[in-house]
Amino acid sequence: MLLFPLAAFLRAGGLSQEEAQASFAAAFEKALRTPNARRFDHIGHPTRYADIVALWARDARFLDRNGRPRLLALRGKSGFNAMVREASPNSKPDDVLAVFLRYGNVRKTKEGRYELVRPFFFSSRQKSMAFEPMAYFLSDASTTLGRILRRTSRTHCPEVFWRKVESDHLSDAHAERFIEFLRDRSLTFLEEIDDWLEAHRTTRKKRGRNSLVRRTGLGLFSIYSEPERPELHR
């Protein structure tokens, strides 16, 4: 699923099957020679963690008087374990908690309760990152490309899109400031998008236990390349 839209893109660009295979083989050989700065951890399907965080951040049972996610005990009717079982019945609360603690989404207080630190599920740290969230992100970007390539005037679905803004005229200092600016503004924007999605969410009961699931959303990433020589046509 991850490679099909890329293959379709290369084919549309005029590459033969032999050229595409040779290109992929060369890229894979280069990857084998390139050391990884971080190791990958396998945590399972990432949506479960996002669903748990969303429930913690919005459900009145898990909020304090000011409407903020409250500190949760591990057990109890409105505790962490009960919340996990409701948001993701097939997940083991102990495993979920270990992942949350590992990536800094949750911290344990001195009183033995657990505090939600981040409004969205975060799956990266200095020396390691989770494999599945990154794989889904790449798959989503690749699938969007594939849908754009296959779309015709008779396609009966919303038109997916791809947008990008960039500049090659920023100093190192301004580039660093821009990334921080993006981090703050994109978080606010994503919180607004997340609120809209939650407000229009169909409950599991209404859509049926065996119904198909369509993922709809938005993914953002920053751009920061290594210095390179400007192209002649510029």
pLDDT of residue 1: 63
Would you state the structure tokens that stand for residue 179, as one six-digit string? 């990334």
Of 191, 192, 212, 189, residue with least CA distance to 202: 212
Bigger pLDDT: 229 vs 73: 73
Token code pair at residue 135: 């794989």
| Higher-scoring residue by pLDDT: 195, 56 | 56
> What tens digit of pLDDT does each residue of 15-36 get?
999 999 999 999 999 988 888 7
Average pLDDT of the chain to the nearest whole number: 87
CA distances from 49 to 97, 106, 121 (A): 10, 12, 6
Looking at the predicted structure, is the pLDDT value of residue 149 above 80? no
Say what the pLDDT of residue 204 is: 57
Report yes or no: 80 and 73 within 8 Å, Cβ to Cβ.
Answer: yes
Crossing angle of helices 93-102 and 80-87, in 10° steps, is 100
pLDDT at 178 over 90: yes
Over residues 32-75, the pLDDT tens digits come to 888 877 889 999 999 999 999 999 999 999 999 999 999 999 99
Average pLDDT on 181-207 reads 83
Predicted confidence at residue 175, as pLDDT, reads 92
Establish how many alpha carbons lie within 13 A of residue 99's alpha carbon, considering only the half-sphere containing its beta carbon.
26
